């Protein structure tokens, strides 16, 4: 069976990046607004979720597939600060004055291989 290229269209958003790999796997990096962390999912053609990973407090700006089949995520990280707390919930915000540029490398299954943070002056670098 011949696999035809799949065309994907998504509403324009600064926090979404879609990529189609040669194995017809859709990689979706979405900023999860409530938790401020990226969710990386591999979805097969069916569509079924092959795997799903969340990587700490990293706001993903770009995701690309590497030559070894893994992925790199480029973004920023800022520490969480509790802004409101009760016995039922905690409300957080991010301390953008202490953010760093972050590079995350995963294998093809989304398992973290390494991550590196770079300084505190991130504007324009990720």
- Number of structural domains found in the chain: 1
Q: Between 29 and 20, name the one with better pLDDT.
A: 29
| pLDDT given for residue 24 in this prediction | 41
Residue at 9 is within a domain: no
| pLDDT given for residue 7 in this prediction | 37
| pLDDT given for residue 43 in this prediction | 60
Average pLDDT estimate for 23-29? 47
Spatial distance between the Cα atoms of 44 and 100, rounded to a whole number of angstroms: 33
Could you tell me the pTM of the whole model?
0.55
Least confident stretch, 23-27, 44-48, 92-96 = 23-27
Q: Give Rg (Cα) of the chain.
A: 16
Residue at 75 is within a domain: yes
Is 16 in contact with 8 (CB distance < 8 Å)?
A: no
Residue at 6 is within a domain: no
Residue at 97 is within a domain: yes
Spatial distance between the Cα atoms of 75 and 101, rounded to a whole number of angstroms: 6
CA quadruple 29, 35, 36, 37: dihedral positive or negative? negative
What residues have CB less than 8 Å from 75, skipping those under 6 apart?
38, 58, 59, 60, 61, 62, 101, 102, 104, 126
CA quadruple 33, 109, 105, 14: dihedral positive or negative? negative
Residue at 10 is within a domain: no
Residue at 2 is within a domain: no
Q: Between 41 and 111, name the one with better pLDDT.
A: 111
Place of tokens 């802004």: 83
Predicted confidence (pLDDT) per residue in 40-75, tens digit: 666 656 667 677 787 777 777 888 888 998 888 888
Residue at 33 is within a domain: yes
The range of the structural domain enclosing residue 96 comes to 16-118
Residue at 11 is within a domain: no
| pLDDT given for residue 17 in this prediction | 47
């Amino acid at each position: 069976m011949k696999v035809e290229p799949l065309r994907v269209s998504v509403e324009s958003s600064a926090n979404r990046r879609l990529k189609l790999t040669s194995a017809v796997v859709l990689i979706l990096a979405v900023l999860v607004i409530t938790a401020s962390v990226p969710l990386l999912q591999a979805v097969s053609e069916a569509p079924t979720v092959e795997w799903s990973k969340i990587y700490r407090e990293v706001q993903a700006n770009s995701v690309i597939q590497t030559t070894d089949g893994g992925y790199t995520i480029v973004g920023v990280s800022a520490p969480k600060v509790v802004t409101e707390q009760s016995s039922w919930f905690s409300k957080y915000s991010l301390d953008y004055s202490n953010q760093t540029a972050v590079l995350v490398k995963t294998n093809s299954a989304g398992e973290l291989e390494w991550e590196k943070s770079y300084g505190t002056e991130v504007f324009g670098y990720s």
